[in-house]
Amino acid sequence: MIQLDPPRERECQRCGRRDVWDDEVRNWRIQDDSRAGDPFCIHEWDINGAYQPIRG
Q: Does 15 bind Zn ion (CB under 5 A)?
A: yes
Nearest in space to 41 (alpha carbons), one of 4, 16, 20, 8:
16
Nearest in space to 54 (alpha carbons), one of 32, 31, 21, 30:
21
Residues 9, 18 contacting (CB under 8 angstroms) = yes
* Closer Cβ to Zn ion, 7 or 41, answer by number: 41
* Closer Cβ to Zn ion, 22 or 38, answer by number: 38
Using CB under 5 A as the criterion, what x/- string covers residues 20-49 for binding Zn ion? -----------------x---x-x------
Interface contacts to Zn ion, rule CB under 5 A:
12, 14-15, 17, 37, 41, 43
